[in-house]
Chains A and B, each alone.
Chain A
Amino acid sequence: MSGTLIVVLVLVAIVVVVALVLIGIYNGLVQRRLRVDEAWAQIDVQLKRRHDLIPNLVNAVKDYMGFEQEVLTQVTEARANAVAAGAQGPQQAAAAENQLTGALRSLFAVVENYPDLKANQNVLSLQEELTTTENQISFSRQHYNATVYEYNSSTATFPNVVLAGMFGFRPREFFEAEPEAMEVPTVSLR
């Protein structure tokens, strides 16, 4: 009688302990995934802001730039690609955003050739806004990638990997650093 009671109690205790461990693992995974989402939201806000600023910039400079319409077209196209890529996850977005960064650098290099534009208060403040969004994206990227690394490695190690598989905790994509950032933008100066 008391023997079976002890066996039952021990079994209950084991079940409780296992359940607590599983809950702990699950909550840990959820928390890490939330951190990734938060870090991404920070980048996403800046990306959207940049996409919103670019049409204003294009409008502000297009009348001055008779010969370099090509550069403006590049920027507009790169922006459209970046907006479209935004829905396809960080990896796609990073590639498109890097193109956009390159196109913007070319545009600002061209702006340097127009004294009227360089002195234009509206253009200057748009340039400042775009510079700060670009910097904020680049400083947020490091934080985002660190949270992704932490989350991905926690889903890939035992025993978390079992739970991660059962509840669909998939690895997240990194937001890669731009390789073009190191290169000098090539601009045709006619």
Chain B
Amino acid sequence: MASTFYSLQGANRRNSLLLMLSVALILGVLGFAIGYGSTGQLTAAMFVTTAAVIVAGFLSLISYYRGDSMVLAASKARQVTEADAPQLMNVVREMAIAANLPMPKVYVIDDSAPNAFATGRDPEHASIAVTTGLLEKLNREELQGVIGHELGHVGNYDIRFALLVGVLVGSIALMADVFLRWTWWGGLGGRGRSRSDRGGGGAGQAIIFVVAIVLAILAPLFARLVQLAVSRQREYLADATAVEFTRNPAGLERALAKIAGDTEVLEVANRATQHLYIVNPIKKFEERSKGMFSTHPPIVERINRLRSLHGGAPLTSTEAGSLANLD
């Protein structure tokens, strides 16, 4: 069990690095194809590629250092101290000791919908935010499970991954979008035709141009799908990490059921921050992406995996049914 767990954590780090590199590669290739396809000149292609990498790098830097405060501000989170929320601070301290991590900053969001997330660039600069609804509706044991899950994200560097990959995937989407719009309007306006008349690239350039258009359509989708697949895997790992810290699968299991079963809507959550939360805060079925496009694994599957950790039976079909529509 232990060896499997640590190898999982190691694989997690390798996957993240691989993912970052491949997303950066997609960005570079897309930039090159756009540059070469539109001008037919290698220097221009290199220029567009470099510009794309520099802009993405710049955005990543901003997100690396300021992303956590932006997310916390967008979620209307306020920092709390021992005096404001003694039990919450105690539970976070306990879990930090169990995880052998420094004490993170703790925030509270005034919202009656129970939920929680973690953010930051590394364990030394980590923040955990929980809603007042979570504090009201969960008992101590369940709260411990949730905080264990969030510190699992901190210890596994999922928080850094969420900050950086989000920006890279966003940059790809932005570049593809700008290119497609420009091609669309440029193509209608006839500028495109005069350019290809002049251009010396000929057939080679035309092929690259088509490749660029295909890439611009597919790359954002592909990058997002890979990001989501990794994000779902990380939720399972954080659940398992929480159990390792608390030595109590039942607390987190009941917490997940309570959070998912709660019908209140978290006002401050949106599509940009939904992947951060312990349970997807977007409650409406139509507004939530399913399957491959989901940020979170199904709650029933998460609970069943926790139950299997302590040899418990999986949820019965009626229990699963009452939670299934919440996936």
Contact = CB atoms under 8 A, between A and B. Distances in A.
Contacts of A131: 90, 140
A132 B98 contact: no
Interface residues of B, number: 12
Contacts of B93: 132, 136
Contact of B97 (A125, A129, A140): A140
Nearest to B100: A143
B27 to A, nearest CB: 42
Looking at A129, A131, A135, the one whose CB has the most chain B CB atoms below 10 A away is A135
B308 interface: no
Contact of A135 (B86, B94, B100): B94
A136 B86 contact: no
Main secondary structure of the interface of A (DSSP, over half): helix
Interface string A135-146: 110011011000
A140 B245 CA distance: 11
Interface residues of A, number: 12
B90 A132 contact: yes
B87 interface: yes
Interface string B220-244: 0000000000000000000000000
B90 A128 contact: yes
B140 A136 contact: no
B97 A128 contact: no
Contacts of B44: none
Nearest to A146: B100
Contacts of B94: 132, 135-136, 139
Contacts of A129: 86, 90
A139 B244 CA distance: 11
Contacts of B71: none
Contacts of B91: 132
Interface string B91-107: 10111011010000000
Interface in A123-162: 125, 128-129, 131-132, 135-136, 139-140, 142-143
A140 B97 CA distance: 6
A125 B86 contact: yes
A42 B97 CA distance: 9
Interface string B57-96: 0000000000000000000000000000011001101110
Looking at B86, B97, B100, the one whose CB has the most chain A CB atoms below 10 A away is B97
Contacts of B97: 42, 136, 139-140, 143
Nearest to B98: A139
Nearest to B144: A135
Given A125-B86, A139-B97, A140-B97, 5 more contacts: A129-B90, A131-B140, A139-B94, A142-B98, A143-B97
* In the complex, the 5 A-B pairs of residues with the closest C-beta atoms, listed nearest first: A132-B90, A139-B98, A139-B97, A135-B94, A136-B94
23 contacts: A42-B97, A128-B86, A128-B87, A128-B90, A129-B86, A129-B90, A131-B90, A131-B140, A132-B87, A132-B90, A132-B91, A132-B93, A132-B94, A136-B93, A136-B94, A136-B97, A139-B95, A139-B97, A139-B98, A140-B97, A142-B98, A143-B97, A143-B100
